Amino acid sequence: MDKTVFVKVAIIVFAVLGVILFLLGIQRVWRRRVMTGSLEGLVGLLLLAIAALVVAISINLYTYDRLTHESPVAEVRFQGIEPQHFWADVMIKNNTKTLDLRGDEWQIDARVLKWHGTAVLIGFDTLYRLDRLSGRYWDLSKEKTGPRTVYSLSEEPGLDLWMIAKRYARWIPWVDAVYGSATYMPMVDGAHYTVSVSSSGLLARPANNIARKAVGDWP
């Protein structure tokens, strides 16, 4: 059975059982069977809470993509506006957004969830989600004082499982929350780059002669 179908079935089962037990509990309390009714009501509420938690986690996980081998995940093209100022056309899943980037170099980051132990045996794959795109300056003083540009590349619906796994790593040993970053690459008018993700992280590659020359001349 597909894991998403299994999760949906589990949510429905927990929710239905929770509602039934909660209503039975109210009915028994109404008939003055307080102890039995209270117990059933509490169990029903617990099942409903579990169903709600699974929904919140599932909504967040659906923003991630499975990683089974190195895969292309984005393309970035640059148009120069003025020195250290560029339009960046970022294409992700056939959707393109144009962002205003400042600096000499650009970098793309991703959130990665790596499973261990029982989770791997069950069949959980490593998950990733592109997180943000940023620009930076070569000159350290300009980096400290110049205008900074950082853009989010994804939303954060539901329960933030990556942050929970990061913050409570000692209590959740079967998943690692990893922040992956591609190496900073030069921004040049007309440059075109591709971005791939693998188990070792993100990799940005020049995709045209302008980008290859920029990387070759890069200090």
Domain range for residue 94?
A: 65-216
HSE value, Cβ hemisphere, 13 Å, CA-based, for 13: 6
Q: Which residue has the higher pLDDT, 65 or 151?
A: 151
Could you report the per-residue pLDDT of 123-177, keeping only the tens digit for each?
566 777 888 999 999 988 888 898 999 999 987 655 666 666 677 667 766 666 6
Residues 7 and 96 in one domain: no
- Which residues on neighbouring strands pair with residue 20, listed in sequence order? none
121: number of CA atoms within 13 Å, CB side? 3
The model's pTM is 0.65
Residues 141, 47 within the same domain? no
- pLDDT for the residue numbered 155: 74
List all residues 6 or more positions away from 134 whose beta carbon is below 8 Å from its beta carbon.
Answer: 101, 106, 107, 109, 148, 149, 150, 151
Question: Is pLDDT at 67 greater than 60 in this prediction?
Answer: no
Residues 147 and 203 in one domain: yes
* Confidence tier at 189 by pLDDT (50, 70, 90): very high
CB neighbour list of residue 63: distance below 8 Å, 6 or more residues apart: 129, 154, 155, 156, 157
Q: Which of 12, 44, 61 is the last residue of a domain?
A: 61
Average pLDDT over residues 192-216: 89
What is the average pLDDT value for the chain, to the nearest integer? 75
Same domain, 54 and 96: no
Question: How many domains is the chain built from?
Answer: 2
The last residue of one of the domains, among 42, 61, 80, is: 61
Q: What whole-number distance in Å separates Cα of residue 153 and Cα of residue 112? A: 14
Tell me, yes or no, whether 48 and 94 share the same domain: no
Please indicate, yes or no, whether residues 54 and 77 belong to a single structural domain of this protein.
no
Q: Give per-residue burial for 119-140: e unless 16+ CB within 10 Å, then b.
A: eeeeebbbbbbbbebbbbbeee
> Are 73 and 49 found together in one domain?
no
Strands 192-198 and 175-181: unpaired
